[in-house]
Chain A
Amino acid sequence: GDSVTQMEGPVTLSEEAFLTINCTYTATGYPSLFWYVQYPGEGLQLLLKATKADDKGSNKGFEATYRKETTSFHLEKGSVQVSDSAVYFCALSHTGGFKTIFGAGTRLFVKA
């Protein structure tokens, strides 16, 4: 079945450091890929998405590129801020489908 694997955390960075959170997936066909973010005490919210191979999703300085050849969707940000401290979830869903498969989540701590 479909699955999503993301790097274990926590990831601890200093402010203005470069961020990469790795995500790989296993799926049939051509799923849509997502990154969700969960701030402390809140529900998840969509950060960015990509719906086909080579698409780049971007939002709030975060980017991820849908790489079908490596089945990856790594999240990157050039300069993190303390306010980026959160848990990040990689996820996939099939177009027209009803379920989303989530990775286990990666906690990010950013120090001032």
Chain B
Amino acid sequence: NAGVTQTPKFQVLKTGQSMTLQCAQDMNHNSMYWYRQDPGMGLRLIYYSASEGTTDKGEVPNGYNVSRLNKREFSLRLESAAPSQTSVYFCASSESSGGRSYNEQFFGPGTRLTVL
């Protein structure tokens, strides 16, 4: 049981380049999330997918797109990277089956992205 996995772990891009961050979970969770973490700002939600086939914007969606490929996988794409997108990106998942679900989140190890 690997939990939440992310690839790559590190990436350096030039301004204007594109890339996709991959995330997969093996816990059969319904919901998945992408966050960015910047010094002094905690975690900010970029996009989330409450269930397979749905995606919604979070707090800071501009410059990003997402795809919920299937129940296991949720990718984040930067179409034209900018230096302001230099950050650590975390993927997370939760059971979130509604009702009595308490939405505990399980995090991947993160991707450290630098945009020059």
Contact = CB atoms under 8 A, between A and B. Distances in A.
A96 B98 contact: yes
Contacts of B41: 104
A54 to B, nearest CB: 16
A101 to B, nearest CB: 9
B12 interface: no
A60 interface: no
Contacts of B92: 43-44
| Interface SS, B side | loop
A97 B103 contact: yes
A46 interface: yes
Interface in A39-57: 41-46, 49, 51
A45 B107 contact: yes
A109 interface: no
Nearest to A6: B42
Interface in B75-116: 90, 92, 94, 96, 98-110
B48 interface: yes
Nearest to A32: B102
Given A44-B43, A44-B105, 9 more contacts: A41-B109, A43-B108, A45-B106, A46-B104, A46-B105, A51-B102, A89-B42, A95-B101, A98-B94
25 contacts: A32-B103, A34-B104, A36-B105, A41-B109, A42-B109, A43-B90, A43-B110, A44-B90, A44-B105, A45-B106, A46-B104, A46-B106, A49-B102, A89-B42, A95-B99, A96-B101, A97-B103, A98-B94, A98-B96, A99-B58, A100-B103, A102-B43, A103-B42, A104-B41, A104-B42
